[in-house]
Amino acid sequence: MSSLGFQSIKFKLIVMFVLAGSVPMLMSIFLIHIQSNQIMQQQVTAELTESVIARDLILEEHIDEVRLNADVIASLPSMISFADAAQNKNVIPDHVLELAGNELALFQERMWGRTHHIMLLDVNGQVILNAPHDGWLGGNTSTLSMQLNHGKHLGKTIEFNGQSMSAVTETSASGYFDYIDDGHFFQLVASPIKDTIGQVAGYVVLEVSIEFIQEIVHSAFQIGETGKLFVVSREGREIHHDVSAYSGHVHEGIKFDDAFRAGKPLIGKYIAESGQEVIGAFVSSHDGSWGVIAEIDAAEVEAPVRAQYRMFLIITGLGFCGFGTLIVFTGRMFWKPMREVVVAAERVADGDVWLEIDTTRSDEIGELQSAVDMMRLSLKQQIDHLDSTVAERTAELEYANEQLHHDSVHDKLTGLANRVVLTEMLNKEILQYKSDSSNLISVMFFDFDRFKVVNDSLGHAVGDSLLCSIADRFNNELRDTDLAARFGGDEFVVMLSSVNGEQEVHEAADRLLKLFEEPHIISGHRIVSTASIGLVIADPRYENADEMIRDADTAMYEAKLAGKGQVVLFDEQLYKDALFRQKLEEELPFVVDQDQLKLMYQPIIGLDGMVVLGVESLIRWEHPTLGLISPDKFVPIAEDTGQIIEIGEWILRESVNQLIEWDQAFGLDGSHTVNVNVAKRQLCHPNFIAMLTDVLKKSGLDPMRLKVEITESTVMDPRHDMGKVIKQIRDLGVMLAMDDFGTGHSSLSLLHEFDFDILKIDQSFIQGMEQSREMSAVMHSIIQLAKNTGMCVVAEGVESESQVACLISHECDMIQGYYFARPLDANEAGKFLSFPIEVELAA
Ligand code: C2E
Ligand code: CA
Ligand code: CA
């Protein structure tokens, strides 16, 4: 037991179990009760037995006494004399009569009550002497008186047990119901009178009073309230004084024979005449001529026991009720509060940690309550802690958000607004313009040239300072209603609002253009960074800022193409171009599936022997409504959208298959080659080499017959290292051609870094070659250098005979151009490959 003492459930349980022990206690009480029942019965039967034995003795004594008296009377000389005289038919002398009569009357008087009449009988059973009940004539015992007033039986013949008296040879008692006198039963006791020689001379017969027997038997008998005593005949019939009371009923259940044989009283339980169950004791007289029964209602004997039994039942019932209540109460003592604890714990589990849990109990449940409450408290603390942490974090987050917002609306470097802010402001202005178009808005897209060069050559710090200097100029020049934003890199966008007419926009653009022609002095460097400006003026068709900015960007791109320091207004043509571009962009994804692509093949001629060496495959889009679209228009878009991957693979397979088909269709010798243009995005694709390998494998084409054209600008792109993929292509055995040489920024000295087989000189060189001698010289040295590094040279865009002649003189290897053939369809190209060319060159 813990410190809880009497409060503890353990203690309560002990109490409970002690109480449970009371059940066996009750059981033992019950057993004792049963025993007491037995004892009680024993007591009653003992009393009954005792009673019957005592009565039997009294009766025995009584009858013995009667017999004795009968014998005494029979032996009286007077009786003998009287009987003798009567037998001999003598006249009885008066003195004999007087003496016998007096003595008989004396005995009769003395024994009156116990016995009734005493009679003297002759041997035939006839009453010869019988004193009257009240004696002879008032005590007069004279012979005369006797003769005049004799007893009422005189002269009667008495039978003994229904037989003649002669059957009686010695003193005997008759049955109880054999003799009736005056409406009453009497038992007769007869004693033979013997004369002097021992002959039976007569009998003395006494009427034994049954009333007296009943009297002596019933005197001082008291057993319970229903206790009864009977004297019965041998057959079990109750003796009666009055004949009228006699019913001849036999007491059933009484086995006198058994009792006689046993020689002791027997006990039995049986149904009495009354219909009641009784307990009875019965004893047989020593000669079996009568029996004594003492009986008592079993109900009376069992009544106290039954009462006790009822009481026990009540006590046990009450005990059980009490015990049950106790258990329920004891149970409630812990399951109810336990349930409360469970409910509280569930509440805590549901997240309600604020409601205190009752901890007033001082038992184990109290300990449990405290533990749960502790749990609740610690949870609450954790939640509070969490709350404060969340609050802290939220504050931090808010601060960070503010910071982020600041950063998000400002360009970090220049402090100008950023794209988000400009877009937002412009959107507002567009909305306003839509409701009132009197105030124009304009967007200018700025791109500054040389910025990349400055960054690369003078370092990023100078580049950054240049951008800041540009921002400063915007800040100084622009009005408050205007907004300049940096879009990243060297791209700036300016929004002019509340402009009066287009003229003002153009003037502002010109002014800004002029402003940026001025050099920036940064860290001692004098940097000129001219602006290219794309201009857009508000128009009702613009729905949002993005559309205006996009068009300004397009115009700026055009301005850049047009050369340094230009302003280009986004006009109808640019708008159409943009729409066109958009349309192509939307339809490009379906060109392969819808079979709208077509390849044209332009022959490449070897100057040595003037033979067709192969073709370059050139893509066309046969648009169902727009007609034939040139690759310049859609290939860049396909590159932007990534569609070039799918299209490029199609071109490669188609070109390779076509070459094999020509071989078969025109019986070619299998030496011709096909040049396939591959875009940068294709080369950068991780699957390119696998795809190329697959194309070769499936077609079975000798890899040497395939020439991959990669433009100079792709090869030279500083952002992507093409070295690896170029090497992989080479490893497949495929030839490599550097396309459009002369348009990029590569220098001749870098040529040998990449292992190209062929150098294709851009057509701008070919066209310039004739016009300037310098160009021609450059051309010459390019060809020589290429040859020195083991490359073959192809001249592109050769249109005239003179160009051919010139190229021959420069020892160019191959020629491609309209002069020999335009791009041809597959059939024409096949034919071209199969016939020798007829060229006549002027000397
Ligand atoms: P490119 O690779 O330099 O192709 C040569 C272009 O010059 C072709 O234009 C061709 O028709 C044209 N050309 C040939 N000879 C002459 C000539 O004597 N005079 C003039 N003025 N032009 C000549 P095309 O077919 O319109 O292709 C233009 C460009 O589109 C190609 O330039 C190439 O960069 C690209 N391209 C064409 N086909 C493909 C292709 O299948 N894949 C990829 N990625 N780009 C392709
Ligand atoms: Ca090409
Ligand atoms: Ca080219």
Higher pLDDT pick, 325 / 640: 640
What is the reported pLDDT for 733? 97
Residue pLDDT, tens place only, 179-217: 888 899 999 999 999 988 888 989 999 999 988 988 888
Q: What is the pLDDT of residues 333-383, one digit of tens each?
A: 767 777 888 888 888 888 888 888 888 888 888 888 888 888 888 888 888
Stretch 282-310: mean pLDDT, rounded? Answer: 83
Span 788-837, pLDDT tens digits: 989 999 999 999 999 999 999 999 999 999 999 999 999 999 999 998 77
**Alpha carbon 331 to chain centroid distance?**
29
Res 695: pLDDT: 97
* CA 603 to chain centroid: 78
Which of 618, 680, 711 for a ligand 1 pocket mutation test, highest count of atoms within 8 Å of Cβ?
618
The rounded mean pLDDT for the chain is 88
pLDDT band at 401 (very low <50, low <70, confident <90, very high): confident
pLDDT at 30: 75
- CB under 6 Å to ligand 1: residues? 602, 617-619, 630-632, 635, 651, 677, 679, 739-740, 763, 796-799, 817-818, 823
Report how far apart, in Å, the C-alpha atoms of 778 and of each of 39, 156, 434, 516, 717 are: 151, 201, 58, 35, 23
pTM of the model: 0.52
Is the per-residue pLDDT at 5 higher than 50? yes
Nearest ligand (C-alpha, residue 682): 1
Average of per-residue pLDDT across 576-590: 93
Q: Separation of 600 CA from ligand 1 center, angstroms?
A: 10
**What is the DSSP secondary structure assignment for residue 687, as one 8-state letter?**
T
Q: Check if the beta carbon of residue 232 is closer than 8 Å to that of residue 214.
A: no
Assign 2 a pLDDT band (cuts: 50, 70, 90). very low
Which pLDDT belongs to residue 1?
A: 41
Per-position DSSP letters for 282-318, written without gaps between them: EEE-TTSSEEEEEEEEHHHHHHHHHHHHHHHHHHHHH
Q: Supply the pLDDT for residue 515.
A: 94
Taking only the tens place, the pLDDT of each residue in 688-743 is 999 999 999 999 999 999 999 999 989 888 778 899 999 999 999 999 999 999 88
Q: Which residue has the higher pLDDT, 437 or 315?
A: 437
| pLDDT the model gives residue 716 | 84
Q: Is it the case that residue 155 has pLDDT exceeding 90?
A: no
| Averaged pLDDT, 263-290 | 85
Sign of CA dihedral 194, 199, 202, 205: positive
CA of residue 551 to ligand 3 center, whole Å: 30
Helix 9-75 vs helix 77-87: angle between axes, to the nearest 10 degrees? 60
Mean pLDDT, residues 498-520 = 93
Higher-confidence residue: 838 or 172? 172
Closest C-alpha residue for ligand 1 atom 16:
797
Quick one: pLDDT band at residue 460, thresholds 50, 70, 90? Answer: very high
- How large a percentage of the chain has pLDDT more than 90? 45
According to the model, what pLDDT value does residue 740 have? 93
Q: Which residue of 640, 652, 675, 677 sits with most ligand 1 atoms within 8 Å of its CB, as the best mutation to test the pocket?
A: 677
Tell me the mean pLDDT in the region 389-418: 87
- pLDDT for position 843: 44
DSSP state of 93: P
- Across 583-607, average pLDDT: 96
Cβ(203)–Cβ(74) under 8 Å?
A: yes
> Which region among 18-27, 151-160, 730-739, 766-775 has the lowest average model confidence (pLDDT)?
18-27
Cα 618 to ligand 1 centroid, rounded to whole Å: 6
CA of 751 to the centre of ligand 2 (A): 18
Q: What CA–CA distances, in Å, run from 785 to 97, 747, 759?
A: 208, 11, 11
Give the ligand with the smallest distance to the CA of 635: 1
For residue 312, the model assigns a pLDDT of: 74
Between 550 and 338, residue with greater pLDDT? 550
**Distance from Cα 761 to the centre of ligand 2, integer Å:** 10
Take atom 3 of ligand 1 and give the residue whose Cα is closest.
740
What's the gap in Å between 677 CA and the centre of ligand 3?
A: 9
The residue-averaged pLDDT of 281-304 equals: 85
Determine the distance separating the centroid of ligand 3 and the alpha carbon of 588, expressed in angstroms.
23
Nearest CA to 614 out of 794, 382, 766, 802 is that of 794
Per-residue model confidence (pLDDT) at position 836 = 73
CB-count burial class (<10 Å; 0-12, 13-18, 19+) for 752:
middle
**CA gap 399, 393 in Å, rounded:** 10
**Closest-approaching ligand to the CA atom of 605:** 1
Q: Write down the pLDDT at residue 749.
A: 67
The one-character DSSP state at 564 is S
Bridge partner residues of 189 (DSSP): 173, 206
Can you read off the two tokens belonging to residue 369? 């309550």
Q: Please tell me the predicted confidence (pLDDT) of residue 461.
A: 93
- Read off the DSSP letter of residue 235: T
